[in-house]
Amino acid sequence: MAGIAGPCSSGVLFRAREAGGSINGASMAQFDGLRQVESMHMPVNGNKSNGFAFTSAPKCRTIKAMASPTVSAPKREKDPKKRTVITGMGLVSVFGSDIDTFYNNLLEGESGITLIDRFDASNFSVRFAGQIRDFSSKGYIDGKNDRRLDDCWRYGIVAGKKALEDANLGPQVLETMDRTRIGVIVGTGMGGLTAFSAGVESLIQKGYKKISPFFIPYSITNMGSALLAIDTGLMGPNYSISTACATANYCFYAAANHIRRGEADIMVVGGTEAAVMPTGVGGFIACRALSQRNDEPHRASRPWDKDRDGFVMGEGAGVLVMESLESALNRGAPIIAEYLGGAVTCDAHHMTDPRSDGLGVSSCITKSLEDAGVSPEEVNYVNAHATSTLAGDLAEFSAIKKVFKDTSEIKINGTKSMIGHGLGAAGGLEAIATIKAINTGWLHPTINQDNLEPAVTIDTVPNVKKQHEVNVAISNSFGFGGHNSVVVFSPFSP
């Protein structure tokens, strides 16, 4: 939902009611990003834009939309050709590229947020992020290509190949399979941002003849899926999705539907992002959505805490191997968890603001449960989008409360409190965290919970991990433009 994500719905823009302005829209408070600076008069009948940062949000239109009443108990998919299981996982993260190391750091409440040293950020108003260090693609990308590639594609290729390895689908095994039945959907919110910035810089400083021939190929957002397929020979459905910070969940949803429709047996799916560079950081500073806690970077990302002041940028890649149950059983694949269903919706409201009625998010959660054949009472864990923005955190929480009437058994947590906001990769990394919670029976904490918002009445696993047997879990991702996405996972049960 716009306004729920960090960059993707940062809560940068507030409605008149939220800002203390008059209810009829005659006036609204003006915000310098997350901080109110003055009030400005707005014509009652005028909705003219004052620029990106101060565009007023139109009133939520009354939309007749509600969840279909559940007449009988929901039924989960039984057909092994359509049931979708997770058989492999791969990632690149601020905690490295090993799944167990990644999750153990999360369980211990370690923060991966540090001062930026990839470029000189000393003159930037925000000088910290979840920056990846000591990344190596050795064994996954040959040296020549590795030097040319944007980090966005390096992260995605390594995470994708690691996921294939985890699923016992190494190069020798793939050679024996029908690769027209194996597809790739690895999306990104920003694409090859470093490649794009370098191309523009060459154009301005040296002229068009000095632009690299790789400028366009390594900038466009479909290249993550394309390069992974070229390297592995996977000839099934292949494209990318770019829905800002909802990207990876959209990819999971699309991939599962390819399997359900019989168009593929296996899909390699997730998100990748590498925006911790001058253009990326500078651009989000311009949106005025980032935390400015430069003196305490590790304490900056604090979902649901009263003292939160914006999100923290992150980066990386998270990829799953999704496979029909029939295919997984036939080849004796390790089954890690089951994907039960998902949903995508749009707020149809504003570029960055959330709907005040929360309909976009609550309907997305409800539709995901319907698709999964799950009742709300079965869900006992929510990996929340929780970006640490003023408006977004509470808007998401309100939507969760609308769907789940009894939250006494539910726990929610915010992975971004430790790794920052991975933008298009966020849903991929958080899906892995969700599945590890299912596998281990331990939920990672939401760190920096020092002064919890009184309205947040569900257990957020504050500061210390908790043991919790997950029955059904949902993972939320929302993005600029009002893109909402929810996916549903559970332990695998034959």
pLDDT of 330-371, one tens digit each?
A: 999 999 999 999 999 999 988 877 777 778 999 999 999 999
Average confidence (pLDDT) over 120-149? 94
Of the pLDDT bands very low, low, confident and very high (cuts 50, 70, 90), residue 72 is: low
Residue 48 has pLDDT above 50, yes or no: no
Provide mean pLDDT across the span 432-460: 97
pLDDT at 61: 52
Residue with tokens 């632009």: 211
Strand partners, 130: 314
CA distance 358 to 252: 23
Model pLDDT, residue 69: 45
Is the entire prediction scored with pTM above 0.85?
A: yes
Provide the mean pLDDT of the chain.
Answer: 87
The string of pLDDT tens digits covering residues 403-419 is 999 999 999 999 999 99
Q: What is the pLDDT of residues 2-26, one digit of tens each?
A: 343 444 443 433 333 333 333 333 3
For the record, the structure tokens of 126 come out as 């925000």
- Confidence check: pLDDT of 31 > 80: no
**What average pLDDT does this structure show over 74-86?**
92
Q: How far apart are CA 30 and CA 51, in angstroms?
A: 12
Question: What's the confidence (pLDDT) of residue 324?
Answer: 98
Predicted confidence (pLDDT) at residue 32 exceeds the cutoff of 70: no
Q: What is the pLDDT of residue 358?
A: 78
Q: What is the mean pLDDT of residues 138-145?
A: 91
Statement: residue 28 has pLDDT above 60: no
Identify the pLDDT of residue 487. Answer: 98
Burial code (b: 16+ CB inside 10 Å, e: under 16) for 297-322 equals bbbbbbbbbeebbbbbbbbbbbbbbb
Residues above pLDDT 90, as percent of the chain = 79
Question: Which of 40-44, 248-252, 329-333, 419-423 is predicted least confidently?
Answer: 40-44
Q: Give pLDDT tens digits for 259-309.
A: 999 999 999 999 999 999 999 999 999 988 899 999 999 999 999 999 999
Within 10 Å of residue 115's Cβ, how many Cβ atoms?
Answer: 12
C-alpha angle 247-248-252 in degrees, rounded to nearest 5: 120
pLDDT higher than threshold 80 for residue 204 = yes
Top mean pLDDT of 44-58, 118-132, 389-403 is at: 118-132
Q: What proportion of the chain, given as a percentage, has pLDDT over 70?
A: 85
Q: What is the pLDDT of residues 375-409, one digit of tens each?
A: 999 999 999 999 999 888 999 999 999 999 999 99
Mean pLDDT of 425-453: 98
- Per-residue model confidence (pLDDT) at position 62: 52
* Active centre residues (catalytic): 245, 385, 421
175 has a pLDDT exceeding 80: yes
Give the CA diameter of the chain.
68
**The three-state (H, E, C) secondary structure of the chain, written as one string:** CCCCCCCCCCCCCCCHHHHCCCCCCCEEEEEECCEEEEEEECCCCCCCCCCHHHCCCCCCCCCCCCCCCCCCCCCCCCCCCCCEEEEEEEEEECCECCHHHHHHHHHCCCCCCEECCCCCCCCCCCCEEECCCCCCCCCCCCHHHHHHCCHHHHHHHHHHHHHHHHCCCCHHHHHCCCHHHEEEEEECCCCCHHHHHHHHHHHHHHCHHHCCCCCCCCCCCCHHHHHHHHHHCCCCCECCCCCHHHHHHHHHHHHHHHHHCCCCCEEEEEEEECCCCHHHHHHHHHCCCECCCCCCHHHCCCCCECCCCCECEECEEEEEEEEEHHHHHHCCCCCCEEEEEEEEEECCCCCCCCCCCCHHHHHHHHHHHHHHCCCHHHEEEEECCCCCCHHHHHHHHHHHHHHCCCCCCCEEECCHHHHCECHHHHHHHHHHHHHHHHHHCEECCECCCCCECCCCCCECCECCCEECCCCEEEEEEEECCCEEEEEEEECCCC
For the chain, domains (ranges, CATH) are 84-490 (3.40.47.10)
Please name the helix (run of DSSP H) or strand (run of DSSP E) that holds residue 323, with its range, or none: strand 316-324
Whether the pLDDT of residue 67 is over 70: the answer is: no
